[in-house]
Amino acid sequence: MKYPKQLPAALLLLTLLLCAVSFTAFAGDEPAPACTHNLVFCQKVEPECEQTGCLAHYCCTNCSALFAADDKQKQVSEADLVLPALGHLYSDWMQKKAATCTEPGLRIRSCQRDLAHVDKQEIPPRGHSYGAWQYEVVPTCTEGGQRMHACIRDASHIEREAVPPLGHAYGDWITKKASTCTAHGLRVRICQNNTSHTIEQELPLSEHSYVKTTAQQPTAVKAGYAEYPCRACGALKLAADGKPERTALAPTGTVAAVKCNARTAAAESITWSALKGAQGYQIKISTPDGKSWAKTYNAKTATGLVFKNLKAGGTYKFSVRIYSKDVNGQWAFGPWTKATTSPTLPAGTAVTKLVGGKKCFAAQWKRTNVTGYQLQYATNGSFRGAKTITIRNALTYKALAKNLLANRAYCVRIRTYKTIAGANYFSTWSKAVTVKTK
Ligand SMILES: [Zn+2]
Ligand SMILES: [Zn+2]
Ligand SMILES: [Zn+2]
Ligand SMILES: [Zn+2]
Ligand SMILES: [Zn+2]
Ligand SMILES: [Zn+2]
C-alpha cells in the first residue's frame, strides 16, 4: 500500500484498518493458503497535532501482512509502526472580548503547528463593583427611606434598596424641673435622631425635710414638746395615727438637798426638798457596795422615803428626780441629782470576855469588818460619866481599862464604827455586861 503524504489522516487510518480486517479474515475460518506476498513499500507518514503517524514499511497487497522497511523478511505488527499524535503547541491566551459586569468575555489561543487549530475559553462576568450607598429618601424615626449605589464600572448599573424606619433613639432621662415637696418636677428623654421627639414624665413629690422644732418649752417641773415641721413648706410630720408627731421634752428642774435624816444598820430615811409644782418624784438606790444602781421607787408627791431591809455597813447611794406627764401621756423625767452617798450603820459586836484585876479589867470582843471599836465603861447602868476607849484598828480584839476604883462593879459595853468620806458611822451599843475590879 502506498499513500501520498497529503492524504487526509482519517483515510490513512481507514486503510490500515482495512488491511487488518482482510488479514484477520484470511486467518479466520480455514488455514490460509501460503501467500506468495506481493510487497509494496509504504512511505513514512508524519504524526500531526491530533493525528498519529506511521513508520515506513512494506505491505503485502494480497494478504495485507506488514514487514519492516529495512528487512522485508521481518513481519511487524501495526502497533510497531504507529507514531503517537504530537498534541497542539498553543501560544499564550489572547483576549478576544472583555468580560463586562454581567456578560462573559472570550479569549483564544492558536496552535503554532497549524493556525487553524484554535482554542477558545469564556472569561466569567466580573460582577458589579458598587460604590458607597447613598440615600435617595432619608429614613426617619417612623418612616422608611430608600438608598442606592452605582457601579463604578458603569454608572447606569444601579441597585436600590428600601431602608426600614430608624426608630426613636431616646437618650437618658434629663431632669427638666426638680420636684419639691409640694410641686411635681418633670423629666424628659430626647430622641437623638430628631430633638422634637420627646417623652416627658412627671416626677414624684420629694420628701418633706422635717426639722425637730420646740413647740412648747419645758419648765422646771412640766414637760414640753417638739414637733417636726417641713423646712420647705411648714407641713407637720404626722405619726401613724395621723396626728402631728410630738416628742416630749423633759422638765429641767433638779431636786435639791437629798440627804439622810435617820439611819440604822438596816434602814435609812432619805428626804429632799420639794420642787414647786412637781407632779411627783422618783428615787433610786444603789447596790450595798454603791457601785451600780439597783432599784427605782416612785415617791409620788412625798419628799422622802424610808428604805428598809438594807445591809449593815453598806455604802448606799441615792439619787432623786421629778416626773411630769408629757404631751403623749407618758412620764417625762427631769435630770437625776448627783448621787448622794449615805451609808447604813455598821453591825455591832459584843464583849466575849471580861476579867477583873487590881483597879483594872481586861475586855475581849468579837472582831468585825469595820474601821475600829469604842469600849465604854461606867460605875452605873445608864453610863453617866462613862469613859470611852477608842480602838482604831479593826484587827484588835482586846483592851485594858486601868486606873479604876478598887473593888467596884463596872458596866461595860462596846460598839463598832466605820469611817466613810471623813465621817464616822457608829453601830448601836452592845448589851452592857458587868465586871468587878479588885
Ligand atoms: Zn501476502
Ligand atoms: Zn502498507
Ligand atoms: Zn495543532
Ligand atoms: Zn456594573
Ligand atoms: Zn425620633
Ligand atoms: Zn414640705
CATH at residue 337: 2.60.40.10
Domain co-membership, 245 together with 329: yes
The pLDDT, as a whole number, for residue 421 is: 87
Rounded distance, CA 70 to CA 56, Å? 9
Residue 243 backbone phi and psi in degrees, to 5: -95, 160
Domain co-membership, 148 together with 196: no
Domain co-membership, 275 together with 249: yes
Domain assignment of residue 382, yes or no = yes
Q: What is the Å distance from ligand 2's center to 97 Cα?
A: 48
Domain co-membership, 403 together with 309: no
Q: Comparing C-alpha atoms, which of 334, 333, 330, 181 is closest to residue 246?
A: 330
Q: What is the mean pLDDT of the chain?
A: 91
The pLDDT, as a whole number, for residue 155 is: 93
Rounded distance, CA 100 to CA 315, Å? 120
Domain co-membership, 264 together with 296: yes
Number of domains in the chain: 6
Q: What is the Å distance from ligand 4's center to 160 Cα?
A: 14
Q: What is the Å distance from ligand 2's center to 81 Cα?
A: 10
170: DSSP letter:
B
Domain co-membership, 158 together with 184: no
Tally Cβ neighbours within 10 Å of residue 109: 16
Model confidence pLDDT, tens digit, residues 229-275: 999 999 999 999 999 999 999 999 999 999 999 999 999 999 999 99
Domain co-membership, 17 together with 46: yes
Rounded distance, CA 28 to CA 21, Å? 10
SS (H, E, C) 221-286: CCCEEEECEECCCCCECECCCCCECCEEECCCCCCEEEEEEEECCCCEEEEEECCCCCCEEEEEEE
The pLDDT, as a whole number, for residue 107 is: 96
Domain co-membership, 298 together with 355: no
Q: What is the Å distance from ligand 3's center to 235 Cα?
A: 112
Q: What is the mean pLDDT of residues 53-77?
A: 93
Identity of residue 166: L
User: If you compute the radius of gyration of the chain from its CA atoms, what whole number of angstroms results?
Assistant: 72
- 207, 247, 298 from 322: Cα distances, Å: 39, 18, 10
Domain co-membership, 187 together with 228: no
The pLDDT, as a whole number, for residue 34 is: 81
The pLDDT, as a whole number, for residue 48 is: 93
Identify the domain containing residue 277 by its residue range: 212-345
Domain co-membership, 151 together with 183: no
Residues paired with residue 90 on neighbouring β-strands, in sequence order: 111
Domain assignment of residue 4, yes or no = no
Domain assignment of residue 168, yes or no = no
Q: What is the Å distance from ligand 3's center to 81 Cα?
A: 22
- Percent helix / strand / coil, the chain, rounded to 5: 5, 45, 50
Identity of residue 23: F
What's the full length of the chain, in residues? 438
Residue with cell 464604827: 417
Ion ligand 1: residue ranges with CB closer than 5 A: 35, 37, 60, 62-63
The pLDDT, as a whole number, for residue 2 is: 37
Rounded distance, CA 224 to CA 214, Å? 8
Domain assignment of residue 2, yes or no = no
Q: What is the Å distance from ligand 5's center to 189 Cα?
A: 10
Tally Cβ neighbours within 10 Å of residue 206: 15
* Stated pTM of the model: 0.54
The pLDDT, as a whole number, for residue 31 is: 57
Domain co-membership, 410 together with 372: yes
Domain co-membership, 244 together with 318: yes
